[in-house]
Amino acid sequence: MMKIGLLGHGTIGVGVDRIIKKREDMEVKKILSLVIDDEMEGRTAADLSEITMDPEIDTVVEVMGGIHPAFEYIKEAMEQKKNVVTANKAVVAACYDELIALAEKNGVFLRCTAAVGGSIPWLVNIERARRVSDIFEVGGIMNGTTNFILHKMLTEQAEFDVVLKEAQDLGYAEKDPSADIDGDDIRRKVLISANTAFDVSIPEEAIPTFGIRTVRLKDVSWGVSNGLTLKLKACAVKNADGQIEKAFVEPVFLKSGDILSAIPANYNLVYYTGSYCGTQSFIGEGAGRFPTAHNVVEDLIDILETPETFYTVKRERKVPENHVKRLYYVRTVAEDRWLLETAHEEAEGVYCLEAYVDEIHLWAKQMKEKDPGFFMAALE
């Protein structure tokens, strides 16, 4: 029987604990949590050493979130020869190379399927596909919170602030929603997906990201008047030479017939495209207690049944080029000479232009300093 040390007993931790209680092949022996609740049933660990130094515990599940102290806890667990399963996309994205090196050095499993896509069987299917096909694109709608906001703005003609408050009341968005609405969450997910699909290691800071914090109903309505639907999308593409041609996150106006434009509420749709398998898409809830906990337990079962884990493979460090041209919609009240010389003005303060991805994301950072309400989206 697998003996587990659980780090974190919040929303996801409780879900993992409840699922495991119904199984006979694994048991949560100790729980380290800032908040003690009745469900912990005397299994409380006073500190990390009660878990890492327990010879019976062979696997640690980390669902605390954040980078620190999660990284230090995972590192200590692996150095004590414990397998690790984590749902923490922040620590995996930020410490990817260190984590796989630790797992390889100590001969333990490291699995993070639940870090991307909630209950969607995403990373495991990328790994299965790349055994036969050369995967050259991954992407999609990877954040349920922002999809919920944009979908509500579209269907109810509501302003961003109103819908964000509703998302927080429903538990889709955190009290501080920055990771979702600024695109950090989806950036981490596409990074982990691309690393797995392309067998590389991409630095997180090398993925240009623009979120939806400044989106307004007028932007969504402009899309509708042009037969377009606004979504927050991530993509990563590898070319025939093995270089990462592009990897970025940005709002996108999609044609209303595009399958991504129809994804409702807090659902995700992720896809990969391969040389033999074509494009494969996966849809499902991307967050929530039991959808995420489900994939954590799937990883635990894989450790019980699988002779090796694909996260302990040495990967080459690569930086996306992102020097590809796209059409963009821009809304700003700030005066900018380059914009006036380059763009076609659609309406007062609204422009359309063609620009390179890497260049426009750098320019957007400068524009946000001049105009905090600046917004842009690609026209796909």
pLDDT at 308: 58
How much is the average pLDDT of 233-242?
A: 96
How much is the average pLDDT of 330-358?
A: 96
189: annotated active-site residue: yes
Q: What is the pLDDT of residues 181-196, one digit of tens each?
A: 999 999 999 999 999 9
Q: What's the CATH fold of domain 2-111?
A: Rossmann fold (3.40.50)
pLDDT for 211 beyond 70 = yes
pLDDT for 268 beyond 90 = yes
pTM for the structure as a whole: 0.92
Taking the domains of the chain in order of start, what are their residue ranges?
2-111, 323-380
Ramachandran region of residue 183, left (φ > 0), alpha (ψ -120 to 50) or beta? left
pLDDT for 118 beyond 90 = no
Spatial separation of the C-alpha atoms in residues 196 and 61, rounded to whole Å: 21
Measured at the CA of 65, the angle between CA 234 and CA 167, to 5 degrees, comes to 60
pLDDT for 147 beyond 60 = yes
CA proximity to 186, closest of 292, 269, 278, 96: 269
Output the CA–CA distances (angstroms, integers) from residue 300 to 25, 49, 71, 83, in the order listed. Answer: 10, 21, 19, 9
pLDDT for 287 beyond 80 = no
How much is the average pLDDT of 209-230?
A: 97
Between residues 313 and 170, which one has the greater pLDDT? 170
pLDDT band for position 173 (50/70/90)? confident
Spatial separation of the C-alpha atoms in residues 47 and 60, rounded to whole Å: 14
How much is the average pLDDT of 64-88?
A: 97
Any idea what DSSP says for residue 306?
-
Computed over every residue of the chain, the mean pLDDT equals 94
Look at residue 193 and give its three-state secondary structure. Answer: helix
Q: What is the pLDDT of residues 295-317, one digit of tens each?
A: 999 999 999 987 555 555 567 88
* Structure token pair of residue 113: 């399927």
How much is the average pLDDT of 160-180?
A: 92
pLDDT at 262: 96
CA proximity to 4, closest of 109, 85, 121: 85
pLDDT band for position 257 (50/70/90)? confident
Spatial separation of the C-alpha atoms in residues 230 and 252, rounded to whole Å: 6
Q: Are 323 and 357 in contact (CB under 8 A)?
A: yes
pLDDT for 171 beyond 90 = no
Q: What are the start-end ranges of the E strands in 47-203?
A: 59-62, 83-86, 110-111, 135-141, 200-201
Output the CA–CA distances (angstroms, integers) from residue 263 to 147, 231, 278, 318, in the order listed. Answer: 8, 9, 21, 31
* Structure token pair of residue 187: 């950036």
How much is the average pLDDT of 279-302?
A: 89
pLDDT at 74: 98
How much is the average pLDDT of 326-337?
A: 97
pLDDT at 311: 55
pLDDT at 58: 97
pLDDT at 183: 98
pLDDT at 307: 56
CA proximity to 2, closest of 73, 60, 75: 60
Instruction: Name the catalytic one among 82, 89, 189, 246.
Output: 189
**Least confident among 52-56, 119-123, 211-215, 371-375:** 119-123
Spatial separation of the C-alpha atoms in residues 248 and 320, rounded to whole Å: 9
Q: Are 297 and 61 in contact (CB under 8 A)?
A: no
